[in-house]
Amino acid sequence: MNDYSSKHFNECEAVPVKVDRVFDSCSDKDCIEGVQVDLACPLPPNAQIVKTKCISVSDACINVEPIPFNKGFYSVDITFTFDVSMLAYETACGCPVPVQGTASISKNCILFGSETNSKTFSNTGRSIGVTDSCCCTVNPPTALVQAVSPIVLESKIKNNGCGCECAPENGQPGGKAVVLTVGLFYVVELVRPVTIMVPAYNYTIPQKECCTNTDTPCEVFDRIKFPTEEFSPQKLDNTYCSCQEPERKPLLSDDCGCTDL
């Protein structure tokens, strides 16, 4: 706020604005086992070990359907698609062979998205809501899904239990497939466009002048603080506890508790 004029900040009025209101949302931390990878090319014939180098979310297919006899609630079906980059080894210390593939995971949740019988049209050609065969207006909420790159907890080669006579499966002859255990974090929201009143102040422009940095690269570098923390090993703070009983192993947990393993 220091960069803007404040002489009119005490003068405000209520103005209508169009926003997407979040009616319901949820978050999930999920561990999924047995996620099979569709390989783009075959694994090396004698591959024994596979390691995941990189995995990222490439797409999310989202479907929103109303829940019968439960007005205002919707089932959100999500299918995540991942791009997977792996390294296949014939021996533990051998030269790896890069392998690419894709994988998918389906999730479902039920959220409240409210109801409306209106249609929305705009001059951009975008419309919200349709009329079904019974002349009823169907206007489901919009589902938004946020996901970070998942964590691969385990990568392994699965043998389907048949020999070389098996038909190729997922790019790998001999009935073999790559199977992952994936940790996934995501957030789902149901939103609708609404008009709300908010306080607004008078129009203003920034008071800070635009300027070009004329310092030399070395002068800019001299102002950077030496990154001491990058050269210091990090200590484990408040995440480890010692258990009195030797047969019990400590776990990394928020409550610093011990659990039998």
Residue 235 lies in a domain: no
* pLDDT tens for each residue of 85-97: 999 998 888 898 9
Q: What is the pLDDT of residue 91?
A: 85
> Domain of 83?
15-199
| Nearest-angstrom CA–CA distance, 180 and 172 | 16
User: How far, in Å, CA of 81 to CA of 57, rounded?
Assistant: 6
Q: Which of 37, 59, 44, 43 is nearest to 145 (CA)?
A: 59
| Contacts of 43 by beta carbon, 8 Å cutoff, 6+ apart | 50, 88, 97, 99, 157, 171, 172, 176, 178
State residue 260's pLDDT score.
Answer: 47
For 42-57, the pLDDT digits (tens) are 888 888 899 999 999 9
Residue 51 lies in a domain: yes
* pLDDT, position 242: 52
- The verdict on residue 205 lying in a domain is no
Let me know if residue 163 belongs to a domain: yes
The whole-number pLDDT of residue 186 equals: 95
Structure tokens at 142: 């919009």
Q: How many domains does the chain have?
A: 1
Q: Do 256 and 238 meet the contact criterion of CB atoms below 8 Å apart?
A: yes
What pLDDT is attached to residue 254?
47
Instruction: Evaluate whether residue 230 is within a structural domain.
Output: no
Dihedrals phi, psi of 52, to nearest 5 degrees: -85, 125
Beta carbons within 8 Å of 175's beta carbon, 6+ residues apart: 159, 160, 161, 162, 163, 166, 169
Query: What is the per-residue pLDDT for 248?
Result: 47
208 falls within a domain: no
pLDDT (0 to 100) of residue 84: 96
Which residues is 38 bridged to in the sheet?
102
Between the alpha carbon of residue 32 and those of residues 185, 186, 205, the distances in Å are: 11, 13, 51
| 151-159 average pLDDT score | 91
Q: What are phi and psi of 244, to 5 degrees?
A: -70, -35
Q: What are phi and psi of 219, to 5 degrees?
A: -65, -40
Does residue 15 have a pLDDT over 50? yes
3-state SS, one letter per residue, for 183-243: EEEEEEEEEEEEEEEEEEECCCCECCCCCCCCCCHHHHHHCCCCCHHHHCCCCCCCCCCCC
pLDDT of residue 120: 75
In a domain, 94, yes or no: yes
Mean pLDDT, the chain, rounded, equals: 80
- Domain presence at residue 206: no
